[in-house]
Chains A and B, each alone.
Chain A
Amino acid sequence: MYRSQKLSLRYFTAAIVLFGVMILFGLLSALYYLYPSMLFNVFNFSTSKILHIDTLVIWLLMAFMGAVYWYLPKELGREIEGMWLAEATFWVFCAVVAVVALVFVFVQYGSASEFSLWFINQGRKYVEAPRWASIGVVAVMLVFAYNVIGTAVKARKMTGIMWVLVLDLIPLLLVYLDAFPAPTNLSVDLYWWWWLVHMWVESTWEVLIGCVMALVLMDVMGTPRRIVEAWLYIEVMLVLGAGILGLGHHYFWIGTPRYWLGIGGFFSALEPLPLLGMVVHSIYDAGMHRMKTANRPAFFWITAEAFGNFIGAGVWGFMMTLPQINLFSHGTQWTVSHGHFAFYGAYVCGVLAVFYVAKQKIAGVDFLDGRAWRWSFALFNFGMVGMVMGLLISGMAQAFYGRAIGGSTLMAFTQASENPWFLAGMYARMGFGVIFALGYVVLVYDLLTAPRRALVAQPAPLEPA
């Protein structure tokens, strides 16, 4: 095992811990909708929500970094350049996250001053972490980029996947610089904020997870590099071809010119295409290998990733991306439904596949299967689909009663939120959220337990020997 793969395991551990924190504050945030007087004036909904969405970003980022540290030495055939720096950076990263979380929990907010933005809370969605911590994240990403690029230079070797990865890190880092400014004009503020949020979630992260999935496919299914690379380029072409101007679907209502309605609507309608391509790719691959794999949990999670990405990000996004619909759905629980499904399908499923690749390596078995992972797989998927459906019903109630009929006033918002359809969806979300959390418990149990001998044996070959 390479030294950087040990670092990967540390990143995966931290990611799983933060995944748990995210679920915990997700459940708490959901509970506020059912018991609004809970913790009133003591611990605000906003703080709970910040901890839910910021841990989401950080745990996925840590898991991506872990995945890259895992595959980089295998890909380039040499240990990582600047390993001690990478190891030190991990602890710095963890310390920064811990301090920010403690300040959020115990201080929550500050007065209207630059001091608050530097040390308490920036109050910009997804990048609420104060500026000092954002600088920390930039430093971590710089070290990460140095590790990747430095290793490639030292190895005097580049693969197609590595080129995509390195080039992807540049915009990933550049758009994060928008985590710092606080323009007074909210239209300008949100214009650039979307470059950060959209270009991360709908562009650079999609490319990054595409690279990781390519590496996992070669690892788990033995897909030839030539096929994987051709698919990766096609995905990059479609993701960026549709996604860069698909940015326009965030520019419908923030004060921006009207042409964004057409441009954003058209290009974001194309965004499901690469995700559909991934589904085709995975079915094709699975068929080629007659579903034979050395790592069954990883294989199932990759398949879930392909379908989840297409349905959650693609179909659910398309459902509300045309401006005629978005005028009513934007900023309701409908958006939340899409957000949950998309993050889960596009990123969580893929990252879980990587965790199981790592587990197989540690266990040192040729074939990984078992019983517990099936339970967590089922609980996670069932819980997520249930939550998403509940949120969709609530969101549609808001769009119909609050927006279309009520005319989007404060009282219309109130009335829509007391509508039985809205409340039914909220109760469903809470219940299925608990099921999702059970999936997490089983996942942690399964990852921590060594595979049993009886299940380690190779399956009977499909063809008669």
Chain B
Amino acid sequence: MKLEGAATRGTRTGLDLTDPNFWRAGAISTTLVMLVVLAFLSIDSMRVISVGGAHVPRYDVVNQHIGYRYDWSRRADVPVIGGAEPLFGVTLTEAQATALVREGKLVIQSRACMDCHTFFGNGAYYGPDLTKSWLDPAWPQIWMPMTGKPTREEAMVAFLMHPDQYPTWNRRMPNLRLSEREARATVTYLKWMSAIDTNGFPANFGQTHAQQ
């Protein structure tokens, strides 16, 4: 069974659209070309998203103020690294910051945070997205008064250690028995993560942040 046109032309060109071999060659070559392109793009992407790359800051960025504003040339919200603002009032060396952020990641994986929350929009959708949670106005507006803590990071630690004691609505976060050390590491992780350039995700967060 051949297509009418292909049947007559097929005698000259040898092209038969119903021949599996023709499509097999197409499948193999298409796949190989795409894989090669993906390999090059991945090498370039790794350069950009490695720690210290164009979009992902070094871990000791937690010693600095992190701002967030709309960039008209990019047409997207971008993080702005500011002056000194040490976390918990302690300036960390790069090695100390790296160790703390690493422990924060272990907390996030061991407590399966991503099975209630999202990071960069990935994970589960029961709790809010945490990509820019360090910058969120809820800490100064709600949880600092509620926990009676003087700084954002201390309010976050108090909340993370006993989330069931500081509810804000009917969906509450369960107590995952974080030690103080684990809670501090998590806060460090969240501050570092808020400084990652996410091409403007989540939507319109920069405007809210600017109004604070």
Q: Which residues of A contact B (CB under 8 A)?
A: 32-33, 36-37, 40-41, 44-47, 49-50, 109-114, 116-117, 120-125, 128, 160, 182-191, 226-227, 229-230, 233-234, 236-237, 240-241, 244-245, 247-248, 250-261, 263, 327-328, 330-333, 335-336, 403-404, 406-414, 417-418
Interface CB pairs A-B, < 8 A, 8: A160-B20, A182-B109, A233-B24, A244-B31, A256-B55, A260-B41, A406-B204, A417-B169
Q: Which residues of A contact B51 (CB under 8 A)?
A: 185
Known A-B contacts A40-B172, A109-B110, A186-B105; A233 and B120 likewise in contact (beta carbons under 8 Å): no
B45 within 8 A of A: yes
Q: Find the A residue at minimum CB distance from B205.
A: A408
With A123-B114, A185-B50 already in contact, the answer to whether A253 and B23 are too (CB < 8 A) is no
Cα(A414)–Cα(B201), bound, Å: 18
Which residue on chain B has the smallest CB distance to residue A224?
B1
Cβ B114 vs Cβ A44 within 8 A:
no
**Interface contact B136-A409, CB-CB below 8 Å:** yes
**Across the interface, do A229 and B20 meet the contact criterion of CB distance under 8 Å?**
yes
Distance between Cα atoms of A183 and B51 in the complex (Å): 11
Q: Could you tell me if B116 and A49 are in contact, using CB atoms closer than 8 angstroms?
A: yes
* Nearest CB of A to B158, in Å: 16
Contact among A112, A187, A255, A411 for B107, CB-based, below 8 A: A112
For residue B42, which residues in chain A have a CB less than 8 angstroms away from its CB? 191
- On B, residues with C-beta under 8 Å from A are 18-20, 22-24, 26-27, 30-31, 34-35, 37-38, 41-42, 44-46, 48-51, 54-56, 74, 98, 101-103, 105-116, 118-126, 128-129, 131-133, 136-138, 142, 164, 168-172, 174-177, 179, 182, 185, 193, 196-205, 207-208
Known: A46-B115, A331-B122, A418-B169. 16 other contacts (CB 8 A): A33-B126, A37-B172, A46-B124, A111-B110, A117-B109, A121-B112, A123-B111, A184-B102, A187-B55, A236-B27, A237-B31, A245-B34, A245-B37, A253-B199, A255-B55, A258-B199
A257–B45 CB distance below 8 A? yes
Contact, CB under 8 Å: B116 / A45: yes
Nearest CB on B from A339, distance (A): 10
Contact in complex: B105, A182 (CB < 8 Å) = yes
Residues of the B chain whose Cβ atoms lie less than 8 Å from the Cβ of A404: 203-204
Kindly list chain B residues whose C-beta atoms are within 8 Å of the C-beta of A403: 202-204
Is B123 a contact of A257 with CB atoms below 8 Å? no
Within the complex, the shortest CB–CB distance from A246 to chain B, in Å, comes to 9
Q: How far is the CA of A250 from the CA of B123 in the complex (A)?
A: 12
Complex: A111 Cα to B37 Cα, angstroms: 41
The CA of A205 and the CA of B111, in the complex, are separated in Å by: 29
- The answer for the CA separation of A41 and B204 in the assembled complex, in Å, is 33
- CB pair A49 B37 closer than 8 Å: no
Smallest Cβ-Cβ distance to B169: which chain A residue: A414
B106 touches A112 (CB 8 A): yes
Q: How far is the CA of A307 from the CA of B75 in the complex (A)?
A: 39
- A233 engages B27 (CB within 8 Å): yes
Q: Which of B23, B174, B204 contacts A407 (CB 8 A)?
A: B204
Per the bound structure, the CA–CA distance linking A112 and B102 in Å amounts to 10
Q: Which residues of A contact B54 (CB under 8 A)?
A: 257
Task: Give which listed residue, A40, A187, A332, contacts B49 with CB less than 8 A.
Answer: A187
